[in-house]
Amino acid sequence: MGIGDPLEISGSELVHILRTPSELFASGGCIVLDCRPFLAFSRAHILESRNVNWNSMLRRRSKSSVVCLEWLVADKSLLAQLRNGDFSPVVVLDDNSRSVRDLKSESGFDGFFALYPELCFSPTVMCSNHPALSDSEPIVSGRKTPLYDQGGPVEILPFLFLGSAHHSSRREALERCGITAVLNVSSSCPNLFEEELQYKTLKVEDSLAADIRVLFPEAIHFIDSIKESGGRVLVHCQAGISRSATICLAYLIHDRRVSLDEAFDFVKRRRQVISPNLAFMGQLLQFETDVLCG
């Protein structure tokens, strides 16, 4: 099947395409590939669009060599569908540029969102309906609950949550978030609901001497298995600041093919107290290089 030259389209033309029943297309219908950074995509995006990895590293690489499709599309199922020609048309956009040469459609997402907000989605980032601090976090012996234990688990992705050991001990909060599994990244935190939830413990200390990177494959595999089963997993350590945050950052780098800086900003917007120790940050940088440059 031949591929013609890309065409620029307006926002109104994209609306027409999106509202056309899929059975009227020669292939399986339209797909929108959003080339904006993962952080921007997470704030708002066109309904049913998919984020692809058109980052600065790949843009530099594209000037001297061909960029492979698998570098752009982390989702293996989507990659196979694109290779098979299962979608037509394929619409590619970024923020607001007009250059087809840069894989960007006319007006970009910013213009489209301003005109057609009803066709866009802005996901929530907090576990919904969790009680306010005054209702759920009593003051004990005149001392308030530590900041890292306040509120509830935060949603990183629809199937991935981050929190502290305290959050993992609150059964009602876990139920509200739909948590079905817990990844315990500590050497001492207990697993309290083993008869009701699926657990995995990765024992590691929050130490500059600890090698947490060796645990990344096992952690990623566990999170993926929960995702594929339709469940939701809470990743926690003692405070939800260093070890569990590191695992969530590694997962984003691997699953979304984003830089450490982008992943860190994304997670910190959801849980401001995160602060992996310096050794863990160094190991994440090494992991980033392996994933994005491998």
User: Is 237 noted as a catalytic residue in this protein?
Assistant: yes
What's the number of CA atoms in the CB half-sphere (13 Å) around residue 219?
A: 30
* Bridge partners of residue 192, in order along the sequence: none
- Give the sign of the dihedral formed by CA 35, CA 73, CA 91, CA 20: negative
Q: Active site residue: 177, 237, 248, 293, which one? A: 237
Contact 41, 34 (CB under 8 A): yes
- DSSP letter at 96 equals S
- Round to whole Å and give the CA distance between 183 and 197: 10
CB contact set of 185 (below 8 Å; sequence gap of 6+): 202, 204, 212, 215, 219, 235, 236, 237, 243, 244, 246, 247
- Residues designated as active site: 237
